[in-house]
Amino acid sequence: MASYATPLLTVGLLILSNIFMTFAWYGHLKFEDKPLYLVIMVSWGIALFEYCAQVPANRIGYGYFNAAQLKTIQEIITLSVFVIFSVFYLGEAIHWKQIIGFVFIGIGAFFIFTK
């Protein structure tokens, strides 16, 4: 695989995996009337698709990125997907303190990728 495709494929698969995982972890919050065992089973089913994207993403990306960089990419994507999810799916407002916290995480990511 060409080296320019590796980061694109890695990040694309990580975005896809995070969309699935966010729904697996938090999607049930809109269904409080459903029994816990049912939302656990549904969450596991959704998480299977998350793993089908996440495992290949890390396998493809490892070597181009080191493990710390892969984890950092994962966390930045996780926060980005979660903000979109919480605003548009859960209907929660984003607070300025959360944005400041995310900025600090982004600054940390900068140091992980700096040589």
Going from the C-alpha of 22 to that of each of 8, 41, 74, 88, 114, the distances in angstroms are 21, 15, 12, 13, 29
pTM higher than 0.75: yes
94 and 87 in contact (C-beta within 8 Å)? yes
Helix 5-26 vs helix 67-88: crossing angle, to nearest 10: 50
Mean pLDDT of 51-75: 95
The 10s digit of each residue's pLDDT in 16-35 is 999 999 999 999 999 999 99
Going from the C-alpha of 30 to that of each of 49, 98, 112, the distances in angstroms are 21, 22, 36
Q: How confident is the model at residue 2 (pLDDT cuts 50, 70, 90)?
A: low
Tell me: pLDDT of 1 over 60. no
